[in-house]
Structure formats: structure tokens, C-alpha cells
């Protein structure tokens, strides 16, 4: 297997190795995740992210530099500005809907721990995997359109199996926006922070991430909901069409 992989061009070989890296996810989804909860669930999530982090670095750094994988200072300002709009839009959507569930209790230690978890682990691992390794491999192999849509498809698959189809669909939209930011910015450092902060903000405003388990939503403020959706949907249009035109004029 190793000799055969070595004979392939580096881009398809990297994508194949990513697929092989996810093989342990099959028994995990079938037997492990349904049977763990509480501290055990947190421990398994941390172990899983560390496994993906090591695998992503091992696959990526054998072929590309850190800069090529997006670990650079390019476009940090654009990433943070776009992320602020995305977080604001998502927050307005959440505030415009009532799930009739209590918000998490304020606890400084929990907040600090979750910030470190979502920015230092979730944001880092998911951005390095999807907008770093997978984006780079597809961009070099098939071009930027494949990189944008392919990394977004991978992002929806990552979320749909763990959190259901509704979260998966939202994940595709957010993955597409993240990929557009990666394209325009040229790096992922800003995206790592934005991704983690976005997940953290959602966790603070929603009692749990499983939308199906939350029950039927009640729209309590249509204006907030519509405003949030407009912000979210306008962002990819801006990144795809308006941003390059403005940059060309400046």
C-alpha cells in the first residue's frame, strides 16, 4: 500500500490518505459515540481531534510547507472582518428564534475551557484539515473551484454524521463561506480564530448543538432572523463578486 501510494501524484495520494485516516470513524459512529456521555464524551472528542490533527500534519507536511497549507499571516484582517459579519449574522438568527430551552449557566472556568477547546482545538483542526490540507490538495490538483466546493462538501460530511442533516446543511453553507475566505485571504490563521469563536458563541446561546433534539423552533423576532440571514447570505456574494472588483479599483 505504501509503495503504491508513493507512486501516485502527491495531490490524489494526499486525498486518499485523508480518506484512510477517517476509516476509524466508522466504528466510532456505530459503537462509541452512541454509548458515551458527559466527561467521557468530552474526552473522546479531544482524543478524536488530536488524532485528526496528527494525521493532518503528517499527511500535509510530507508534501507542502506550512505556508502552502495556509499557516501564514496573509489576509488575517479580511478573515476577521468576514468572520465578524458571519458571527453577527448567526447570532441574530439564533436570537430571532426561541427553542424554549435554558441557556448554559455562567461559569468562568467553563467559559475559559470552552474557549480554549473551540479555538485551540476545534477551529485549529477543522481549518487545518479542510481549508489547509484538503483545499491545498484540490487546488493544486484540479483548481480553485474544486478546492472551494470539494472542501465544503468534506465539511458537510464531517458534520452531517455527527449532528444530523440540518446541522450538516448549515455546515455546507459555513464551509463554503470559510473556503471563499480562504481563497481571498490566502491563509487560515484568522479563520482558525473565527471558526472557534463562532462555535463558542453558538454554544453559549444554544443549550446544545443537536438541532433535532432542541425541538420545534418558535420565531419570536422575524426582523432579527431576516437580518441575520441577509448578513450570512450576502457574505459569499461579497467575497465571490464584490471583493475582487473593489480590490482591483484600489
H/E stretch holding 98: strand 97-98
- Greater confidence, 107 or 69? 69
Residue 56: which of 137, 166, 163 has the closest Cα? 137
pLDDT value of residue 215: 59
In this structure, are residues 107 and 114 in contact, taking their beta carbons and an 8 Å threshold? Answer: no
Q: What confidence tens digit (pLDDT) does each residue in 185-201 have?
A: 999 999 999 999 999 98
Domain ranges in the chain are 67-249
pLDDT value of residue 167: 67
Q: Provide the whole-model pTM.
A: 0.90
Q: What confidence tens digit (pLDDT) does each residue in 18-62 have?
A: 999 988 876 776 677 667 777 787 888 899 999 999 999 999 999
In this structure, are residues 145 and 173 in contact, taking their beta carbons and an 8 Å threshold? Answer: no
pLDDT value of residue 42: 83
- Residue range 6-16: mean pLDDT, rounded: 84
CA distance 94 to 83: 16
- Residue range 100-126: mean pLDDT, rounded: 85
Using alpha carbons, list the distances in angstroms from residue 101 to 107, 201, 245.
18, 16, 44
Amino acid at each position: 500500500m505504501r509503495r503504491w501510494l508513493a507512486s501516485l501524484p502527491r495531490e490524489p495520494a494526499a486525498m486518499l490518505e485523508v480518506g484512510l485516516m477517517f476509516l476509524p470513524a466508522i466504528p466510532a459512529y456505530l459503537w462509541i459515540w452512541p454509548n458515551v456521555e458527559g466527561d467521557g464524551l468530552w474526552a473522546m472528542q479531544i482524543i478524536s481531534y488530536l488524532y485528526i490533527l496528527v494525521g493532518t500534519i503528517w499527511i500535509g507536511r510530507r508534501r507542502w510547507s506550512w505556508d502552502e497549507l495556509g499557516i501564514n499571516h496573509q489576509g488575517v484582517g479580511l478573515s476577521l472582518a468576514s468572520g465578524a459579519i458571519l458571527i453577527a449574522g448567526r447570532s441574530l438568527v439564533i436570537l430571532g428564534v426561541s427553542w424554549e430551552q435554558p441557556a448554559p449557566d455562567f461559569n468562568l472556568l467553563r467559559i475559559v475551557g470552552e474557549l480554549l477547546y473551540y479555538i485551540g482545538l476545534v477551529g485549529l483542526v477543522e481549518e487545518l484539515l479542510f481549508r489547509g490540507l484538503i483545499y491545498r490538495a484540490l487546488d493544486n490538483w484540479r483548481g480553485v473551484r474544486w478546492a472551494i466546493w470539494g472542501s465544503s462538501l468534506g465539511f458537510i460530511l464531517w458534520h452531517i454524521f455527527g449532528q444530523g442533516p440540518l446541522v450538516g446543511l448549515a455546515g455546507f453553507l459555513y464551509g463554503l463561506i470559510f473556503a471563499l475566505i480562504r481563497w481571498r485571504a490566502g491563509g487560515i490563521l484568522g479563520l482558525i480564530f473565527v471558526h472557534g469563536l463562532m462555535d463558542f458563541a453558538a454554544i453559549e446561546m444554544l443549550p446544545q448543538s443537536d438541532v433535532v433534539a432542541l425541538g420545534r423552533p418558535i420565531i419570536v423576532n422575524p426582523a432579527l432572523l431576516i437580518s441575520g440571514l441577509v448578513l450570512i447570505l450576502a457574505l459569499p456574494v461579497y467575497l465571490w463578486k464584490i471583493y475582487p472588483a473593489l480590490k482591483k479599483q484600489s
